[in-house]
A and B are shown apart, each in its own frame.
Chain A
Amino acid sequence: MTHQRRALDTLEIAAGNGLLHRRAFLTSGAALAAAMTGYTLSDTASAQQLTDAPWSTKAGIPIPEYATPSSYEKHVVRTLTNPKGEPRTQHARTPHHLVNGTFTPNGLHFVISHSGAPDIDPAQHRLVVHGLVKQPLEFTLDTLARYPMQSRMTFVECGGNSAPLFSNEPVQANVQTIHGLASCAEWTGVMLSTLLEEAGIDPKAKWLIAEGADSLALSRSVPLSKALDDAMIALYQNGERLMPGNGYPMRLLLPGWEGNMNVKWLRRIKLVDQPGMSYYEARTYAPVLPNGKAYQFYFLQEVKSFLTHPSPGLKMSGPGFYEVSGVAYSASGRIAKVMVTADGGRTWAQAALQEPVLPKAFTRFRLPWKWDGGPAVLQSRAWDEAGNVQPTRAEVIARRGQTKTPVTNPTAFPSQHYNGPTSWAVARNGEVTHVYA
């Protein structure tokens, strides 16, 4: 123990209030792990002498055909805004503070549905490509399964994710409530360009309208250039068929672009010469600006990061060593750098990025932190490979405005497309709260 303490005492300080150099993960791994304090959801039991537990003295339960997490993980679930399916939108948010790594398990992937998830029989589902094409085509799921497939990791994020940050006072909510409308998965399917080339694109075509088989026949217009770049008809999500809420049996995947444009339950693609100005693009996902104008076609989910550990609800269990971590992502490619502060932005340290760093995908970042037990304000900022910098909250608010009165409903959407930082304050008692810094 004294040996480890000595090793840790020599760790290089990288920024104020105890942030250590990311190199510590490489040079001091074991010593660091032994000294790590860890976050708790509740008070932990004190150590006692080791004995065999009941589960170690008899055979376990039978293994099921389809596994679900341990019964001790029942709290690791999405939060729902409309569990009874009343005639309004439903949101299911990812518990970022209770998972780790970069990919979101399918059962925890966020969902927004404006009229529930249709119960689609895959044998009867059809995808049609028509409009400004030489030959309209119809595809079944079986037909699509015979095409060459590709897999790619990519995040999907609702344009309204992080909306509480537009409140003029910090909304007291956890990372799941504030940032839970973004998730990341490996998607497998057929490139849309393959199907469009087969149909033959009329040179007059500039956009496509994608439409779902849901009761609202949700539709969005997509520039043809994006469709031919990296758009996919996704059939698999993390290796299994899409979840019903994520578009079973097929969805449009537009890596990095506004979640609502990634049309789920996809049944129709029509090539057109102008955007359709559908309800969701002409009205819903067009944020109002302070001067009364509104942004239209806010396609990209711009570079963003947020801390998941610590975050509200994950209590710091006393002074000591902690791993600060979070996720960063950008529609413009790979994450290049993430900086972390523990003193409210006065000094910054560069975080370690978990490899592989993939374009338009969650990138996990980590940094060791020696918390001295005093007040601290943690925040992260990300840079992407295209040179985009995650703006400060002040920069976002200067352009986009904020509410005149504090937002009281943390799941409401005062505006959309907030990509500034989030600040967590750690109090002496280890409680973590949301602040502006």
Chain B
Amino acid sequence: MCMRNALIAIALAVLANPVFAQGLGKHISESDVAAWDISILPDGTGLPAGNGTPQQGATVFASKCAVCHGENGKGATAAALVGGEPLTSGIETAKTVANFWPYATTLFDFTRRAMPWPRPRTLTNDEVYALTAFILAQNKIIGAEDVMNAQSLPKVRMPNRDGFIPRFPERIP
């Protein structure tokens, strides 16, 4: 009986999948992917638990970031993270957090996935929130006491939020 059911199941599978080799992906669960799933969406989806303040971020920044990004993010071998010319200064204007980035969530996402450059994904979530808060506060986008976490970060309104034109609007879902 068991054998017969199995044969029927195989026959149905073959009929449902006329291409010879489909259905080879190993079934996994979302929890299996959790360690890799570092995607953060602009509405805050994917932001982890934790929090940080600009003051906490200043300490982390001095020890882990300033070596490339300069004291307080003024820039060194790596890009400045504070300030920026108006975008109307010319097409080659350097794009910065203050003058360009449309979403604060991108700052958290990129810092967590890619920084520090020599040792990516070694920062704790609290450290990433703190660094995000520090850079936003240095740019006067949030207050010096504001706490960044999964609730507050997506609500941060970036100065250049409405500065973009989709190049191919008909291709945007």
Which residues from chain A sit less than 8 Å from chain B, CB to CB?
87-88, 115, 128-130, 135-139, 143, 146-148, 166, 194-195, 198-199, 206-207, 209, 211, 215-217, 219, 223-226, 267-268, 270, 272, 274-279, 282-284, 286-300, 400-404, 414-415
A148-B21, A277-B106 known; 17 new pairs, CB 8 Å cut-off, are: A87-B117, A115-B114, A136-B27, A143-B25, A143-B26, A146-B21, A166-B91, A216-B114, A274-B43, A275-B42, A277-B105, A287-B91, A288-B95, A292-B86, A295-B166, A297-B168, A400-B91
- Given A219-B113, A279-B114, are A292 and B163 also a contact pair (CB < 8 Å)? yes
A147 to B164, CA, bound (A): 40
> What distance in Å separates the Cβ of B110 from its nearest Cβ neighbour in chain A?
4
Query: Please, how many residues of chain B have a CB less than 8 angstroms from a CB on the other chain?
Result: 57
Tell me if A296 and B167 are in contact (CB < 8 A). Answer: yes
Tell me if B165 and A293 are in contact (CB < 8 A). Answer: yes
A278 to B45, CA, bound (A): 13
In the complex, which of the residues B33, B77, B102 contacts A136, with contact meaning CB atoms closer than 8 Å?
B33
In the complex, which of the residues B21, B42, B95 contacts A283, with contact meaning CB atoms closer than 8 Å?
B95
- Given A277-B102, A292-B163, are A87 and B86 also a contact pair (CB < 8 Å)? no
Chain A contacts for B24, CB-based, 8 A: 139, 143, 146-147, 198
- Given A290-B91, A295-B167, are A279 and B21 also a contact pair (CB < 8 Å)? no
> What distance in Å separates the Cβ of A11 from its nearest Cβ neighbour in chain B?
44
Tell me if B90 and A215 are in contact (CB < 8 A). Answer: no
Tell me if A137 and B27 are in contact (CB < 8 A). Answer: yes
- For the complex, is B150 an interface residue (Cβ under 8 Å from A)? no
Which residues from chain B sit less than 8 Å from chain A, CB to CB?
19-30, 32-33, 36-43, 45, 68, 77-78, 86-88, 90-93, 95, 100-103, 105-106, 109-110, 113-114, 117-118, 120-121, 163-168, 171-173
Chain A contacts for B101, CB-based, 8 A: 282-283
Tell me if B40 and A276 are in contact (CB < 8 A). Answer: yes
- Given A136-B27, A296-B166, are A207 and B173 also a contact pair (CB < 8 Å)? yes
In the complex, which of the residues A217, A274, A291 contacts B38, with contact meaning CB atoms closer than 8 Å?
A217
Please, which residue of chain A has its CB at the minimum distance from the CB of B105? A277
> What distance in Å separates the Cβ of B160 from its nearest Cβ neighbour in chain A?
8
Please, which residue of chain A has its CB at the minimum distance from the CB of B118? A87
Tell me if B37 and A299 are in contact (CB < 8 A). Answer: no
> What distance in Å separates the Cβ of B161 from its nearest Cβ neighbour in chain A?
11
Please, which residue of chain A has its CB at the minimum distance from the CB of B25? A137
A286 to B163, CA, bound (A): 11
A166 to B101, CA, bound (A): 23
Q: Which residue of A195, A272, A283, A295 has the most chain B CB atoms within 10 A of its CB atom?
A: A283
Tell me if B22 and A268 are in contact (CB < 8 A). Answer: no
Sample 26 A-B pairs with CB under 8 A, ordered by A number.
A87-B68, A87-B77, A130-B33, A135-B25, A136-B27, A137-B25, A138-B25, A138-B26, A138-B32, A139-B25, A198-B24, A215-B114, A217-B113, A226-B171, A272-B39, A272-B45, A274-B42, A277-B41, A278-B110, A283-B95, A283-B101, A288-B90, A293-B87, A293-B163, A293-B164, A297-B166
Please, which residue of chain B has its CB at the minimum distance from the CB of A137? B25
Tell me if B68 and A298 are in contact (CB < 8 A). Answer: no
A305 to B89, CA, bound (A): 30
Tell me if B165 and A274 are in contact (CB < 8 A). Answer: no
Chain A contacts for B90, CB-based, 8 A: 288, 401, 403-404
Chain B contacts for A216, CB-based, 8 A: 113-114, 120
Tell me if A298 and B167 are in contact (CB < 8 A). Answer: yes
- Given A87-B78, A143-B26, A402-B91, are A276 and B167 also a contact pair (CB < 8 Å)? no
- CB-CB nearest 7 A-B residue pairs: A137-B25, A292-B88, A206-B173, A279-B110, A292-B87, A414-B92, A296-B164
A279 to B38, CA, bound (A): 13
> What distance in Å separates the Cβ of A222 from its nearest Cβ neighbour in chain B?
10
A276 to B93, CA, bound (A): 24
In the complex, which of the residues B27, B39, B110 contacts A135, with contact meaning CB atoms closer than 8 Å?
B27
Chain A contacts for B95, CB-based, 8 A: 283-284, 286, 288
Tell me if A288 and B38 are in contact (CB < 8 A). Answer: no
> What distance in Å separates the Cβ of B99 from its nearest Cβ neighbour in chain A?
9
